[in-house]
Amino acid sequence: MKSSKNTTKIPIEEIQNSSLYAKRKKIYPRIVLGYFTKLKTLSGLILLGLYYGLPWLQWNGHQAILFDLPARKFHIFGMTFWPQDFIYLTFLLILAAMILFFFTALAGRLWCGFACPQTIWTDAFLWMERLIEGDRPKQIKLDNEPKSFKKFRIKTTKHTLWIIFALFTGFTFVGYFTPIHELTHSLMNWQLSGWETFWILFYGFATYGNAGRLREQVCTYMCPYARFQSAMFDNNTMIIAYDEKRGESRGSRKKSQDNYKDQGLGDCIDCSICVQVCPTGIDIRDGLQYQCISCSACIDACDEVMDKMAYPRGLIRYTTENNLKGNKTRIFRPRIFVYAGILIALLIGAIYSISTRSLVELDVIRDRQSLYIETDAGMIENIYSLRIMNLDNKDHSYNLNTTGIEDLALVKNIDIKAKSGEISTVAIRLMVAKEKLQKRTTAIHFTLTATDNPELTITEEARFLGPLRFR
């Protein structure tokens, strides 16, 4: 049985000369003003302000946020964390992942459009580009012009501004690891270390390359989130979509033309402005695409056109697949409650764990070479090794108290001290009269208390061994 479909034959020469690589076509996003654009601009200013401003903020005599790697101290708004507090970083990463899952399932790619560093810095570079080269038509015209001194001057000015901004970004990044006031002094006196110089240049180059040169290619080809986001989407997820039922068929018309529907036309006038404002260069009218970062520029652009044509807004809008199909949208659904429940549990757990975090840690290790020592005076001795970690910002001396057996005491009193961030190991010997032991092994407790701060205390359990119970 022959197929009724027509087939198109492609010349073998064309197949051989084809390439899987498509050369990038530069995108010139058009300026758009509107509600969502203002929100995005505000979000960008706040996030950039936090990034560039926090290193200069002082808190209790320290930089508010400082990851002091040589000293193994991490200062975060008055709290000091150590490498041993790695569990809190795990909490933070899991919490960030759950926040991403929750908001993606609820409202799509809000992160990409309004908070992703790639988006925020790309917008900053685009703003500088418009400042130097002008808006979209002027940029296209300039790029199409033949080489000239004027073109060279404009391009050089733009890239110089980009490089300065990128290097300042790299400088600020290093300022989170080296006190920024010291870093500034070293920079002014040309005394930067090799690693500081390397990371300023590396991070500056990465910012210049990703936000200035690659732009949308990072979102389209490099970002893994664009690939697995569909696993968190369903028909009730908020997305940016074009209302095909209302917009089709597309076609241009005069503003005063009121009978356009009689001619089979929809509300879309096919102006392509929604494509011109898109930073990734897609046509939202082709449906949901993984390249869409939900920046909402197309919504503001289309609403502006609808206002000029005196048509209702919302031809392109935040909506759901179910809404577009005329079905009921369920915002609150099982996966939302699951994500929210896990997120709340993690948040409460992290807050509780940090708020009850002890600034001193104690490990008690029994001497494994001998179970116990029996003296001629009828005393039983056990040897222990105490590992004390001082997680406070200052040095401390500690008092040790042992409980669990009557008249249990130290063989010799010793000074227990630990510097800030130091692990101090102390060997102690405990003794008790043999008559006081009621069984072969007894639970005892070591309580360590700072001499200058009674609230800084910790208790650890251990076992005291003796001979078999006698009668």
175 has pLDDT over 90: yes
Calculate mean pLDDT across residues 103-112. Answer: 88
Asked whether the predicted pLDDT for residue 275 surpasses 90, the reply is yes
> Across the chain, how many H-helices and E-strands are there?
16, 16
Residues 421 and 324 in one domain: no
Q: Are 32 and 297 in contact (CB under 8 A)?
A: yes
Q: Average pLDDT of 196-204?
A: 97
Mean pLDDT for 322-329 is: 88
Q: Is residue 31 part of a domain?
A: yes
d(CA 426, CA 431): 17
Q: Which of 265, 390, 343 is nearest to 106 (CA)?
A: 343
> In terms of domains, do 219 and 331 share one?
yes
Count Cβ atoms within 10 A of the Cβ of residue 297 and give its class: 0-12 exposed, 13-18 middle, 19 or more buried. Answer: buried
Per the structure, the count of domains in the chain is 2
Rounded CA separation 291/313 (Å): 24
What is the token pair recorded at 41? 């601009």
In order of 372, 390, 442, 452, the CA distances from 387 in angstroms are 20, 10, 21, 20
In this structure, what are the phi and psi dihedrals at residue 333, rounded to the nearest 5 degrees? Answer: -135, 170
- The mean pLDDT of 64-90, rounded to a whole number, is 87
324 and 408, same domain (yes or no): no
Enclosing domain of residue 366 = 360-465
Q: Do 242 and 320 fall into the same domain?
A: yes
Q: Is 64 contained in some domain?
A: yes
Residues 201 and 286 placed together within one structural domain of the fold: yes
Residues 36 and 170 in one domain: yes
Q: State the residue for tokens 């005329």.
A: 326
Q: Is residue 176 part of a domain?
A: yes
In a domain, 3, yes or no: no
Q: Are 145 and 156 members of one domain?
A: yes
Choose the weakest-confidence range: 11-25, 197-211, 243-257, 411-425.
11-25
At 376, is the pLDDT very low, low, confident or very high (cuts 50, 70, 90)? Answer: confident
Instruction: Please report whether residue 379 resides in a domain.
Output: yes
Average pLDDT rounded to a whole number, residues 312-328: 92
In the block, tokens 């000015």 appear at 157
- Collapsing DSSP states into helix, strand and coil, what is residue 112? helix
Which of 357, 386, 415 finishes a domain? 357
Q: Of 357, 373, 400, which one is at a domain's C-terminal end?
A: 357
Q: What is the pLDDT of residue 168?
A: 97
Q: What is the pLDDT of residues 11-33, one digit of tens each?
A: 555 545 545 556 778 999 999 99
**CA dist., res. 315 & res. 385, Å (int):** 73
Segment 118-139 shows an average pLDDT of: 96
> What pTM value is reported for the model?
0.82
Q: Same structural domain for residues 133 and 270? A: yes
Where is 98: in which H helix or E strand?
A: helix 86-107
Confidence of residue 105 (pLDDT cuts 50, 70, 90): confident
Q: Is residue 16 part of a domain?
A: no
Q: Are residues 349 and 369 in the same domain?
A: no
CATH number, residue 397: 2.60.40.10
pLDDT at 4: 42
Q: Could you report the per-residue pLDDT of 389-412, keeping only the tens digit for each?
A: 998 888 999 999 999 998 898 988
Q: Is the dihedral of CA 209, 212, 214, 219 positive or negative?
A: positive
Judge contact between 282 and 292, C-beta under 8 A: yes
Amino acid 469: pLDDT = 63
CA dist 403 and 355 (Å) reads 27
Sequence-distant (6+) residues with CB within 8 A of 76 are: 64, 65
Statement to judge: residues 234 and 250 lie in one domain: yes
Does residue 432 belong to any structural domain of this protein? yes
Output the pLDDT for position 293: 92
Calculate the average pLDDT of the chain: 89
> Containing H/E element for 81?
strand 79-81
Question: Among 357, 379, 412, where does a domain finish?
Answer: 357
